Amino acid sequence: MRWHDLLGCMAWLGAILSASVMVPFLGPLIGLLGPLPYIYYSQKLGFRQGAVIAAITLAGVSVFSAIAGYSRLPLVAVEFGLVGLGIAMLFKMRMGIGLTILLGSCLMVVVGAAFLLYLSFVKGTGLVEMVEEYMRAHLQATMASYEGGKEGADIARFTEAHESLIKGIINLLPALGIIGASFSVWLNVVASSFLLRRSGLAVPDLGRPELWRAPENLVWVLIAAGFSLFLFSGGLKYFAINLFLVVSVVYLYQGMAIVLFFLKKYNVPSWLRPPVYFFLIVQQIFMVVVAVGGLFDQWIDFRKIHKRGV
């Protein structure tokens, strides 16, 4: 292990954590790349050396947090470290793009849920209550900036709408957690492959991501969840909504695979692909189009996979 690699990992992680807080609009998206430094150095130096760098980096973050008074920062850094090393291990096992994202997402959900339960235990509140408290704190901050020059009726309507939004998010929390974890893992897999290739390092063998597709029978789960939205109420309805959202995102990834297929088919330069993905991600209408394309690929077969016998 060389010192400049260790310092590079620390500086890289520090830049990501700082940008996630300080950069408007794109900050949360940048924050999802927290596992990336650990993946990169595990691939560059080997898994063992990457784990050593991760441990020293986490120790440095803990010391800084104790001095600066950021008590939750070590938990975030540990989660990034565990997920980054987990993805690096999956790269080493050559499990393919589908299993890599699936297992990496499961790891991130488990680690994230464990840390949330720990925080709720420390605070002495339930998990749902802690999330509601966090969101209401943001409501108060928003209200403080909204009150100037506004009438009481406007503020009351804003507060009522925000309360409804909080309840909706709480009901969708399982799906949002799974979707957020899978998106973070997908983003780190794509970004690490791009960086490793640009750095002249060994790129993980993920098979042919552009040919990936969801299991054929998964469409019946989506259809059943969709019908359940109209047949049930209460807890069963919210379960169906969560299931529908999660399965829909699976088809979004299939749509992204189709996009990659045509980018490769028409020899679009590799440096131009990240901006294409970014554009699709930030424009919700195009994201929906890509997801619908992934769903209908089951029957239309845009990539002619069935003809190829892939």
Give me the residue spans of the domains in the chain.
1-201, 208-310
Quote the CA–CA distance of 38 and 118 in Å, as a whole number: 24
What pLDDT, on the 0 to 100 scale, is given for residue 297? Answer: 94
Candidates 66, 70, 11, 21; CA nearest to 41 is 11
pLDDT at position 21: 79
Question: How far apart are the two ends of the chain, measured CA to CA in Å?
Answer: 42
Cβ contact 70:17 at 8 Å: no
Q: What residues contact 198, with CB distance under 8 A and at least 6 apart? A: 270, 271
Instruction: Quote the pLDDT of residue 47.
Output: 92
pTM exceeds 0.75 for this model? yes
Residue-by-residue DSSP string for the chain: --HHHHHHHHHHHHHHHHHHHHSTTTHHHHHTTTTHHHHHHHHHH-HHHHHHHHHHHHHHHHHHHHHHT-TTHHHHHHHHHHHHHHHHHHHHHT-HHHHHHHHHHHHHHHHHHHHHHHHHHHHTS-HHHHHHHHHHHHHHHHHHHH-TT--HHHHHHHHHHHHHHHHHHHHTHHHHHHHHHHHHHHHHHHHHHHHHHHTTPPPP----GGG----TTHHHHHHHHHHHHHH--THHHHHHHHHHHHHHHHHHHHHHHHHHHHHHHTT--GGGHHHHHHHHHH-HHHHHHHHHHHHHHHHH-TT-HHHHT-
The Cα 247–Cα 251 span in angstroms is 7
pLDDT value for 139: 66
Cα distances (Å, whole numbers) of residue 213 to 71, 95, 120, 155, 294: 42, 15, 38, 47, 8
> What is the reported pLDDT for 202?
86
Ramachandran sector of residue 94 (left: φ over 0; alpha: ψ -120 to 50; beta: rest): left
- The angle subtended at Cα 219 by Cα 213 and Cα 220, nearest 5°, is 150
Q: Looking at the domain that runs over 1-201, which CATH code has it been given? A: 1.10.1760
pLDDT given at position 110: 94
For 288, residues 6+ apart whose C-beta sits below 8 A from its C-beta are none
Residues of the chain where predicted confidence (pLDDT) is lower than 70: 1, 138-156, 158-159, 306-310
Could you tell me the two tokens for 170?
A: 């709480």
User: According to the model, what pLDDT value does residue 154 have?
Assistant: 61
Q: Are 32 and 184 in contact (CB under 8 A)?
A: yes
